[in-house]
């Protein structure tokens, strides 16, 4: 049940310049891809992530699909990834005929459990995809070393991680390829959008071709070839400059967006601590060395009945809260196209039933944060 004054789970933030930049893009008439705003947004994104190269894409899903094409994955190749993630992480590789091998998550961060990755490697493994859940970094040191030792590609699905860091190094700077999302639920958004970051310079030239329908059109526009031709496989993964205009305004407001989100996150964390302890509810854990970007705030209730009752209780109090990922290894398509790593994914199955996300967005004002906190505290776990 939601009413007119229900606090929504998410409301996309609009900063100052979106409408002005959108009008500018439309007036200028450079509405297709790779226009002036695309260049501006790309530069700002590269500064935030310290990645070596970036291409805006139509979504994070498409950036992941590009990574599968760039790795030349063949049917039967295996890609190690967490079971606790969004469907796109797996779909992108399944579309190439690759087999996702789902690894369980750590009970503390809910990230892929680095201690289980080596046991999932076979002679068909080609890549490891990490997802920094809630923008809290995976153990990149351990996973990075494993990838090096076994010659595996390292990919970051960094949809949650923009602005986060691991031992002072930005998330999005670790993987040879990195997928970002600018979907309306993410910290920086243009409705639907994404980016492929490239930290492996050997992949950059081909990435540009794959994103431009398999043609060398980008080189043609830079005057590097005298005509453009079909040179490789590809698709249309480049977004309109109109969307890039919106993104440019968002990136210019990134610091403000982040400080507003952090203020909400910090109040939840502080003011729910006592209630959580009394009710055996687990709050987010952020290990030393991880700076998170306040992407989401979750609670782990003791079990499924309490989780469901809690969501209903919040709805009655005008607060829209939601659960999150369901395990991929046991989802119908996950079981058909992939498999769980040895030992299965018991932690994933458990947390998927217990997790609730609270409203968290830049424009959630102090009174509404108070309303959410009061609604949470008026629930007693049974
Ligand atoms: C949001 C999200 C995606 C998909 O992003 P789109 O831009 O909507 O394609 C992929 N992976 C994770 C972890 C996400 O949170």
Give the residue among 139, 148, 167 at the shortest CA–CA distance from 156: 139
**C-alpha of residue 273 to centroid of ligand 1, in Å:** 30
Neighbours of 79 (CB within 10 A): 29
Band (pLDDT 50/70/90 cuts) for residue 218 is confident
Cα angle vertex 138, ends 132, 139, to 5°?
Answer: 170
Band (pLDDT 50/70/90 cuts) for residue 220 is confident
Continuous segment of H or E residues that includes residue 41? helix 36-49
Tell the burial category of 13 from Cβ atoms under 10 Å away from its Cβ (0-12, 13-18, 19+).
buried
- In DSSP terms, 81 is beta-bridged to 102
211 in the same domain as 102: yes
- Give the residue, by CA position, lying nearest to ligand 1 atom 8: 183
Distance CA 302, CA 281 (A): 6
Residue among 10, 56, 57, 61 to mutate when testing ligand 1 (max atoms within 8 A of CB): 61
143 in the same domain as 276: no
192 in the same domain as 50: yes
Instruction: List CB contacts of 122: < 8 A, sequence separation 6 or more.
Output: 78, 101
- In DSSP terms, 40 is beta-bridged to none
Structural domain contains residue 13: no
User: In the predicted model, is pLDDT for residue 4 greater than 90?
Assistant: no
330 in the same domain as 197: no
**C-alpha of residue 25 to centroid of ligand 1, in Å:** 26
**C-alpha of residue 66 to centroid of ligand 1, in Å:** 14
Place of tokens 């987010």: 284
Please give the structure tokens belonging to residue 73.
Answer: 């994955």
Give whole-number Cα distances, 217 to 30, 337, 352, in Å.
16, 35, 44
Give the residue among 205, 214, 204, 207 at the shortest CA–CA distance from 236: 214
Question: For residues 171 and 187, is the Cβ–Cβ distance under 8 A?
Answer: no
- Given 219, 252, 285, the domain boundary residue is 252
pLDDT tens by residue, 66-105:
999 999 999 999 999 999 999 999 999 999 999 999 999 9
Residue 353 sits in which domain range? 254-377
Structural domain contains residue 312: yes
Structural domain contains residue 136: yes
pLDDT tens by residue, 258-298:
999 999 999 999 999 999 999 999 999 999 999 999 999 99
Structural domain contains residue 61: yes
200 in the same domain as 346: no
**C-alpha of residue 278 to centroid of ligand 1, in Å:** 34
Q: The CATH number of the domain where 141 resides is what?
A: 3.40.640.10
Q: Is 43 helix (H, G, I), strand (E, B) or coil?
A: helix
Band (pLDDT 50/70/90 cuts) for residue 221 is confident
User: In the predicted model, is pLDDT for residue 184 greater than 70?
Assistant: yes
**C-alpha of residue 193 to centroid of ligand 1, in Å:** 10
Residues in contact with ligand 1 (CB, 6 Å cut-off)? 59-61, 85-86, 88-89, 131, 157, 159-160, 181, 183, 194
pLDDT at 2: 53
263 in the same domain as 201: no
**C-alpha of residue 159 to centroid of ligand 1, in Å:** 5
Distance CA 99, CA 117 (A): 15
Indicate the pTM of the whole model.
0.97
Residue among 58, 68, 159 to mutate when testing ligand 1 (max atoms within 8 A of CB): 159
Q: The CATH number of the domain where 270 resides is what?
A: 3.90.1150.10
347 in the same domain as 280: yes
Residues constituting the chain: 382
- Given 252, 287, 310, the domain boundary residue is 252
Higher pLDDT, 220 or 316: 316
Structural domain contains residue 2: no
* Alpha-carbon torsion (326, 332, 334, 335), positive or negative: positive
What's the total number of domains in the chain? 2
- DSSP letter at 78 equals E
Structural domain contains residue 188: yes
219 in the same domain as 124: yes
Give whole-number Cα distances, 339 to 82, 135, 216, 217, in Å.
11, 26, 38, 39
pLDDT tens by residue, 223-243:
898 998 999 999 999 999 999
Q: Which atom of ligand 1 is nearest to the CA of 193?
A: 7
293 in the same domain as 240: no
User: In the predicted model, is pLDDT for residue 222 greater than 90?
Assistant: no
């Amino acid at each position: 049940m939601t009413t007119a004054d229900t606090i929504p789970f998410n409301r996309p933030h609009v900063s100052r310049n979106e409408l002005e930049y959108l009008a500018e893009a439309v007036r200028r008439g450079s509405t297709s891809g790779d226009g002036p705003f695309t260049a501006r947004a790309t530069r700002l994104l590269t500064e935030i992530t310290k990645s070596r190269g970036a291409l805006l894409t139509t979504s994070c899903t498409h950036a992941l699909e590009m990574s599968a094409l760039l790795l030349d994955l063949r049917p039967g190749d295996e890609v190690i990834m967490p079971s606790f993630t969004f469907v796109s992480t797996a779909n992108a590789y399944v579309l190439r005929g690759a087999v996702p091998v789902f690894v369980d998550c750590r009970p503390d961060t809910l990230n892929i459990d680095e201690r289980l990755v080596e046991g999932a490697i076979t002679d068909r493994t080609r890549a490891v995809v990490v997802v920094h859940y809630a923008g809290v970094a995976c153990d990149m040191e351990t996973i990075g070393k494993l990838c090096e030792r076994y010659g595996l590609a390292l990919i970051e699905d960094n949809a949650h991680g923009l602005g986060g860091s691991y031992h002072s190094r930005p998330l999005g700077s670790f993987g040879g390829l990195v997928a970002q999302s600018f979907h309306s639920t993410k910290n920086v958004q243009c409705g639907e959008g994404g980016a492929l970051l490239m930290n492996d310079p050997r992949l950059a030239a081909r990435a540009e071709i794959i994103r431009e329908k398999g043609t060398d059109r980008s080189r043609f526009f830079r005057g590097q070839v005298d005509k453009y031709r079909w040179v490789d496989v590809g698709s249309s993964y480049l977004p309109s400059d109109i969307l890039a205009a919106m993104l440019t305004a968002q990136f210019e407001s990134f610091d403000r967006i982040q400080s507003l989100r952090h203020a909400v996150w910090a109040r939840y964390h502080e003011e729910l601590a006592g209630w959580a302890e009394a009710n055996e509810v687990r709050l987010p854990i952020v290990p030393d060395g991880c700076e998170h970007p306040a992407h989401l705030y979750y609670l782990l209730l003791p079990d499924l009945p309490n989780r469901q009752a809690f969501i209903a209780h919040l709805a009655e109090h005008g607060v829209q809260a939601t659960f999150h990922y369901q395990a991929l290894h046991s989802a119908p398509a996950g079981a058909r196209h992939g498999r769980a790593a040895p030992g299965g994914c018991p932690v994933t199955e458990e947390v998927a039933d217990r997790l609730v996300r609270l409203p968290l967005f830049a424009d959630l004002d102090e009174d509404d944060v108070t309303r959410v906190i009061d609604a949470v505290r008026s629930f007693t776990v049974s």
